[in-house]
Structure 1
Amino acid sequence: MPSARSYRYYDFVMAAFVCVLLCANLIGAAKVTEINLPLIGSVTFAAGVLFFPISYLFGDVLTEVYGYGRDRRVIWAGFGALVFAAVMSAVVVGLPPPADAFNSAYQSHLEGVFGNTPRIVAGSVIAFWCGSFVNSYVMARMKVWMQGRHLWMRTIGSTLCGELVDSGLFYVIAFGGIWPQEQLIKVIIAQYALKTAWEVLMTPVTYRVVAFLKRQEQEDYYDRDTHFNPFRLKP
């Protein structure tokens, strides 16, 4: 179990994680884009995929430096923030606007951006929770198994597992039975590939952040005796 001590940057990393998570889900989720990539062709994806993987980078950094137990608290903080944002969005969008042309038009814009269906909200929250815990668990186990070596292999390997769960769950829950099966599978594969590519590209940045935090915090936690129950809130 992580020792009961304070850290200089842990709270800042938690705040950054929750900020990225909320922005990626509230701002990016409403925008779908299509671009042409060399050798691949046309790819359609939600714009949030450009930023959501940053939350996995934070998850890797938290587990690598502070351990699974402290990352678990951050995941629950993010989960709570997502649930509150979903409830607040539903309440704000559901409130009737004044009966004038401007507010009626503005209401339609709010509904377009924040009026997600219950299935999309449920898919987003469940996929984040499951994917993040899978990512953290694999990261922690691989660190002990590899005795702290090959950080790049651990960050990419854990992301491959976590993002697979995240992407699969979200689209199946949100769009299963609505989209044609072929389209559903195509979008899941595209999202999964893009999210994983982010992790690979950001590996040098992850190395620098991890090295900085380990040096400043004097911490390099190994989860040898950790209770991996995701429902524990104690570190």
Structure 2
Amino acid sequence: MSSSGLQPSELPQTSPSGAKYSPWFLLIVTVFVTCLITSNIIAVKLINVFGFVLTAGIVIFPISYICGDVLTEVYGYRQARRVIWLGFLCNLIATGTIWITLLLPPASFWDGQDAYARILGYTPRLLLASFLAYLVGEFANSFVLAKMKIATRGRFLWARTIGSTLVGQALDSLVFVTLAFAGTIPPLGLVSAIVTQWLAKSLYEAAATPLTYWVVNFLKQQERVDTYDYNTRFNPLSLSE
């Protein structure tokens, strides 16, 4: 029996209306992808938060992890894995389109090309760091949450969401900052940036725990589903097992 009072089950392949995925599931996926793409666009701006320098992506990027927690907790690792890869594809399309438009010659009367390139232009190194950090962090977050759910028998949701966040965000910050800035800033600065990003994102999600609880309980009641990944193969490259 789960903490919501529902028996563990798998997400139905079809809903009563005949749709493959429920409207609630699609809503969570939409929010997840939107937060991911938006955070990458606004991350170019550096902001000052209580004396700490962070990217503006901190405003919305942690919400994608909250969505990832909800997807794994309610629908299971297999569904979360598909959504993580969907987010990766959508982000690739967005960044690819931006890169193409940067290469297109501007109209002779348009004077915004330099500003456009400065705000939306990404170096290959930053893009690689961003993509790899996203995959490592999101899959680690989902894996830890799914395993902890089995270990706790569906209890202590707060411990599972915070625990998985600490692991996922630590790996995300480590991979991104290291790949993006190693060799360009001193080692101590590198460590400071990693720890600052990790703590800021983790505290953000910890503060959102009541909201996560509400969304999870609401979806479990609406969907009549509470998935436990007992027989799941956790290969991140598989989309069917």
- The residue number in structure 2 matching 1:114 is 120
User: What's the CA shift for 1:2?
Assistant: 5.1
- Indicate whether 1:21 and 2:24 are aligned: no
Gaps of 5+ in 2: 1-9, 16-21
Q: State the match for 1:218 in structure 2.
A: 224
> What letter corresponds to residue 157 of structure 2 in structure 1?
L
Which residue in the other structure is 1:92 paired with? Answer: 101
Aligned equivalent of 2:129, options 120, 123, 141: 123
Q: Which runs of 5+ in 1 are unaligned?
A: none
Using a 3 Å threshold, how does the CA distance of structure 1 residues 3 and 229 change in structure 2: closer, same or farther? farther
In 1, are the aligned partners of 2:11 and 2:225 still within 8 Å (CA)?
Answer: no
Identity %: 41
The Cα shift of 1:5 comes to 3.5
Asked if 1 retains the 8 angstrom alpha-carbon contact of 2:137 and 2:169, the reply is: yes
The residue that corresponds to 1:31 in the other structure is 45
TM-score for the superposition, normalised by structure 1 = 0.92
Instruction: Report what 2:3 is aligned to.
Output: none
Deviation of the 1:8 alpha carbon:
3.7
RMSD: 1.3
**C-alpha separation in 2, matches of 1:122 and 1:83:** 11
Q: Distance in 2 between matches of 1:62 and 1:139?
A: 10
Secondary structure of the 1:9 match is: helix
Opposite residue 33 of structure 1, the aligned amino acid is I
Q: What's the offset of the Cα at 1:180?
A: 2.0
1:33, distance to aligned residue in structure 2 (A):
1.1
Query: Could you say if the C-alpha distance between residues 180 and 224 of structure 1 is closer, same or farther in structure 2, counting changes exceeding 3 Å?
Result: same
The 5 Å alignment of 1:42-191 reads 42-100=51-109, 103=110, 105-191=111-197
One-letter amino acid of the counterpart of residue 34, structure 1 = N
User: Against the structure 1 CA distance between its residues 233 and 30, is the aligned structure 2 distance closer, same or farther, given a 3 Å change threshold?
Assistant: same
Q: Which amino acid aligns with 2:200?
A: L
Q: Spell out structure 1 runs of 4+ moving beyond 4 A.
A: none
Q: Number of paired residues?
A: 226
**Post-superposition offset of 1:230:** 0.7
Query: For the residues of structure 1 that align with 2:14 and 2:172, how far apart are their CA atoms?
Result: 32
1:55, 1:219 → 2: CA distance?
A: 21
AA aligned to 2:144 is: V
Q: 2:211 aligns with which of 205, 211, 222?
A: 205
CA–CA distance in structure 2, aligned partners of residues 222 and 5 of structure 1: 19
Q: Which secondary structure state, in structure 1, belongs to the residue aligned with residue 160 of structure 2?
A: helix
